[in-house]
Amino acid sequence: MPVRHILKFPQEEEGLRKKSKSVKRNDPQLKSLIQDLKDTLATQDGAGLAAPQIGVHKRVALISLGQDNEEGMREPFAIINPVITKKGSPKKGFDGCLSMPGWMTWDTKRPEWLEFRARDENWKPIQMRVEDIDARVVSHEIDHLDGILFLDHLESDSKLFIVRIDENGEEKLVEITQLLSGR
């Protein structure tokens, strides 16, 4: 099962903007799509990956919960046709995206907690409540299924950064907020 190419912003924005379609239970490509997502995410430092990011416009995403836990992130699992059923009030926090490597912000508003339902890869119903960073991951991945990028949540006072390697070979955050003007 191959590691797939991840569409990148802005060069491949068109594919990232397309809305994904609901998955049918008997979709013959579903198993291999989920495997491809797992193989691809395994090569990346990320807590989630949505099918449209590998160019498949179906409502499937992988999420990995517990990225802030001491024991580390848990194994990613698939959520199919996810729907948010309840959510708390919006709170500013961190966002990064495998389609925008190196870009990050601490200023996107996402629900403090949310409840969602979905199907798992065996088509069993999932119903879950997630909080804090986990709620942000679920919200971010569901956004991808609707063609929404974290940039869309930035406001006029939000700051956007990119990681650069400085002359000493160290990672440095450079503010690139000004790139947003005119979008």
Q: How far apart are CB 140 and Zn ion at their closest, in Å?
A: 6
Binding residues for Zn ion (CB under 5 A): 97
Distance from C-alpha of 24 to C-alpha of 46, rounded to nearest angstrom: 27
The residue annotated as part of the active site, out of 13, 141, 167, 170, is: 141
Query: Would you say 97 or 104 has its CB closer to Zn ion?
Result: 97
Q: Maximum CA pair distance of the chain?
A: 54
Which one, of 53, 85, 79, lies nearest residue 64 by Cα?
79
Query: Would you say 22 or 44 has its CB closer to Zn ion?
Result: 44
Q: Give the contacts of 82 (CB within 8 A, at least 6 positions apart).
A: 59, 61, 116, 117, 118, 138, 141, 142, 145
Distance from C-alpha of 173 to C-alpha of 81, rounded to nearest angstrom: 36
Q: How far apart are CB 26 and Zn ion at their closest, in Å?
A: 28
Query: Would you say 97 or 114 has its CB closer to Zn ion?
Result: 97
Q: How far apart are CB 46 and Zn ion at their closest, in Å?
A: 8
Q: Is 141 designated active site?
A: yes
Strand 60-63 with 103-111, pairing: unpaired
Active site positions, annotated: 141
